[in-house]
């Protein structure tokens, strides 16, 4: 199925991001001229796979890309980064595209398009012929992801869900994985709460380890010892696009490398923080040397 010694198989969404740096998000019937623009590959699982490769890990991606120019461009980026493509379906449906508008303070809005035909079948690949050390899914390929999560459970492979928002995939998967790592948005939607510790408590019992990334407030997590908090790194964010993808990729790699949980979460926070310092997600994903420098710069205050 996959090359030997794959640290993390990342299953889910791949798209092309078209990033517009704009003075503000447009209102109704408003036309805004962008200050700058660039495009690159995107998507939670594919960004996570490239994050892992840049951190020195061995990653593979499974999902969908069209046979169009966008699909070729994205495949080229994955290949150049050293990401193996395992169970990559190429079809006639267009490669998904996301238009990202970024304000000067780093806040973003996104509109994307993906055709129903970009959902791959549940039997596209199997883990049994070449199991990775860790399986990371983002919920955007729900049928294949659920099938692989069930296989991983049988094979003793740790599973991680990147739950960015409530949708069909995350609803199927949030209580089926070993590590449920959600965004603030998912936690708010799931719990109806706006306070991070209360939102985290509402997820109790969903998975053995549950963590919620809460923007500049850092990460809150729940394990058998109770709730904990780790502050975010103090940075001046330029663009938050892809920060969550980078966090999940770094965390999954840390699992594959046997890192202790607190240290893994801290390194994941460092990886996410560095991603916010440049425009765009894919182009901003940091290298291992950058992450190591920030990760070791100062201890975190845990609660």
Residue 24 lies in a domain: no
- 148-156 mean pLDDT: 97
Which letter, b or e, does each residue of 253-264 get, where b requires 16 or more Cβ atoms within 10 Å of its Cβ? Answer: bbbbeebebeeb
Residue 56 lies in a domain: yes
Q: Dihedral of the CA atoms 200, 207, 60, 106 (nearest 10)?
A: 0
Rounded Cα gap, residues 150 and 178, in angstroms: 11
Q: State yes or no: pLDDT of 126 exceeds 50.
A: yes
* pTM, entire model: 0.92
Residues 6+ apart with CB under 8 A from 254: 263, 264, 267, 268
* pLDDT score at 287: 93
* pLDDT score at 1: 43
Chain-centroid distance of CA 35 in Å reads 27
Residue 263 lies in a domain: yes
8 Å CB contact between 124 and 151: no
* pLDDT score at 257: 96
Residue 80 lies in a domain: yes
* pLDDT score at 302: 54
* pLDDT score at 298: 54
- 131-155 mean pLDDT: 97
Mean pLDDT across the chain: 92
Q: Which of 17, 53, 78, 39 is nearest to 249 (CA)?
A: 53
| Domain extent for 280 | 8-14+44-95+117-295
Q: State yes or no: pLDDT of 299 exceeds 80.
A: no
Condensed to tens digits (0 to 9), the pLDDT of residues 54-108 reads 999 999 999 999 999 999 999 999 999 999 998 999 999 999 999 988 888 878 7
Residue 19 lies in a domain: no
Take residue 54 and report the two structure tokens written for it.
């840049």
Residue 36 lies in a domain: no
Q: State yes or no: pLDDT of 30 exceeds 80.
A: yes
Distance in Å from the first CA to the final CA of the chain: 42
Q: Which of 99, 98, 101 is nearest to 34 (CA)?
A: 101
8 Å CB contact between 68 and 117: no
- 122-148 mean pLDDT: 95
Of 106-120, 144-158, 172-186, 202-216, least confident by mean pLDDT is 106-120
Query: DSSP label at 164?
Result: -
Rounded Cα gap, residues 211 and 35, in angstroms: 36
Residue 255 lies in a domain: yes
Of 3-7, 231-235, 273-277, least confident by mean pLDDT is 3-7
Condensed to tens digits (0 to 9), the pLDDT of residues 188-218 reads 999 999 999 999 999 999 999 999 999 989 9
Rounded Cα gap, residues 108 and 106, in angstroms: 6
Residue 301 lies in a domain: no
* pLDDT score at 147: 97
Q: What CATH number does the domain containing 255 carry?
A: 3.40.1190.20
Residues 6+ apart with CB under 8 A from 114: 13, 15, 96
Beta strands in the chain (DSSP E): 8-12, 15-21, 36-42, 59-66, 84-91, 97-102, 108-113, 134-137, 159-163, 179-183, 209-213, 219-223, 226-230
Q: State yes or no: pLDDT of 276 exceeds 80.
A: yes
Which letter, b or e, does each residue of 213-248 get, where b requires 16 or more Cβ atoms within 10 Å of its Cβ? Answer: bbbeebbbbbeeeeebbbebbeeebbbbbbbbbbbb
* pLDDT score at 217: 93
Q: State yes or no: pLDDT of 279 exceeds 80.
A: no
Which strands, in side-by-side order, build the sheet including 8-12? 84-91, 59-66, 8-12, 134-137, 159-163, 179-183, 209-213, 219-223, 226-230
Of 70-74, 136-140, 159-163, 281-285, least confident by mean pLDDT is 281-285
Q: For residue 2, what pLDDT band results from cuts at 50, 70 and 90?
A: very low
pLDDT cut 90: percent of the chain above it = 75
Backbone angles phi, psi at 216, to 5 degrees: -75, 0
* pLDDT score at 4: 52
Which comes out higher in pLDDT, residue 280 or 282? 282
Domain count, the chain: 1
């Amino acid at each position: 199925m996959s090359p030997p010694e794959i640290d993390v198989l990342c299953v889910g969404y791949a798209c092309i991001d078209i990033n517009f740096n704009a003075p503000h998000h447009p209102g109704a019937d408003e036309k805004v001229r962008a200050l700058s623009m660039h495009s690159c590959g995107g998507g939670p699982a594919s960004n996570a796979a490239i994050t892992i490769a840049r951190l020195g890990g061995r990653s593979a991606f499974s999902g969908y890309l069209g046979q169009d120019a966008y699909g070729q461009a994205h495949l080229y980026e994955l290949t150049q980064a050293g990401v193996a493509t395992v169970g990559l379906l190429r079809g006639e449906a267009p490669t998904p595209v996301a238009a990202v508008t970024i304000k000067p303070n780093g806040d973003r809005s996104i509109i994307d398009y993906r055709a129903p035909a970009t959902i791959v079948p549940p039997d596209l690949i199997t883990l049994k012929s070449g199991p990775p050390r860790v399986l990371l899914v983002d919920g955007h390929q729900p049928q294949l992801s659920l099938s692989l999560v069930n296989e991983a459970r049988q094979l003793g492979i740790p599973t991680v869900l990147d739950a960015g928002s409530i949708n069909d995939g995350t609803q199927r998967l949030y209580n089926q994985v070993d590590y449920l790592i959600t965004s603030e948005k998912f936690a708010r939607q799931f719990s109806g709460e706006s306070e991070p510790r209360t939102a985290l408590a509402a997820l109790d019992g969903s998975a053995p380890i549950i963590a919620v990334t809460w923007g500049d407030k850092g990460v809150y997590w729940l394990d058998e010892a109770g709730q904990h908090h780790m502050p975010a790194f103090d940075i001046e964010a330029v663009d938050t696009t892809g920060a969550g993808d980078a966090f999940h990729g770094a965390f999954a790699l840390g699992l594959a490398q046997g890192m202790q949980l607190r240290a893994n979460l801290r390194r994941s926070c460092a990886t996410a923080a560095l991603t916010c310092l440049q425009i765009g997600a894919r182009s901003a994903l940091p290298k291992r040397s950058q992450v190591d420098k920030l990760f070791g710069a100062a201890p975190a205050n845990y609660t």
